[in-house]
Structure 1
């Protein structure tokens, strides 16, 4: 029996469960073909499925728990267990350490390579729980601050200046910083794609921002299909 790709299995389950229609799945797969990325993220951005429903499905399929990071109070000592570069690149947050078992929150707990890397770096047994990608991005911005900027050679030669302690940013500022970083990352990657893909991504961004509704988006896709 031929193996079915994971994203297709997720889409088929959501259709069978009545959470999305077959037409919505086809539209999301078309966007994925142009832009890449995870099908689940695209379905959420298109507002075809609620993120909570998607997380519950993924948690059930992978037999992991769902966690709400806004309810967690993570200690600095726990945060230091995983290198910041790993946290940012793998989109992972440590949430607890009990009896030699480190629990980490991930948007994609099926990333076995990331789990093995964390296990090697910490020397602990690692267990994953699932959280929404945006929630993880906000937690990273809250606990680690904005991504570090690499200093140029002249900057490195300047003497170190001890600055006054700056109070932590407000939750609103943290959320805005996370959204701005996500938008910049999407824009930078978008510049590498052809014009059609850029148009798709722009429409998807407007949809995510609430400027374009799902009916208008579906109509645009149908009109484009007729012209091709």
Structure 2
């Protein structure tokens, strides 16, 4: 079962699919503990916050409420005609706490492009057609390591930065990895800070990497 916090349709605001209409499925639960996290309400999966499956679809805003869905139940909701987008973003929380193989396989079979956004601190289990975005969370409060398996499965490595040490940490993290999928490496300034943005731009130009700007924050959309 998948613990679903919310399901909503919007525009993907960052990374390689920036600007693409997308349906986001946010899953509940995350042990990583990023200090800048803007979805702290998804960290705990408490029994008293569980609601009926249909109820979570009507909830908006930052709430710890969640509902259990099977993969097939979620596929039924996503494909019943209420959404026009055909790009699915599975996020969290930390979505890779769950085995996403069945959900991503079924949605890919329905003609959808699936994308997972993960910290890399949990094993990535998904259909081969799924586009995996790893935003490696290094030395976070939860004390979890970034897994080599996650990095080597990534199609995109989107790294949050605010200072040079964050780029150095990324270099050290990737050095022992065999990145056979040749993922696109994106630098994303934390909280759109001016200094972080200038550093990310300069590094992307120097290394032929990609800048990931959180356009949804500039546009004030979910």
More strand per residue: 2
Max radius of gyration: which structure? 1
TM-score by length of 1: 0.22
TM-score by length of 2: 0.23
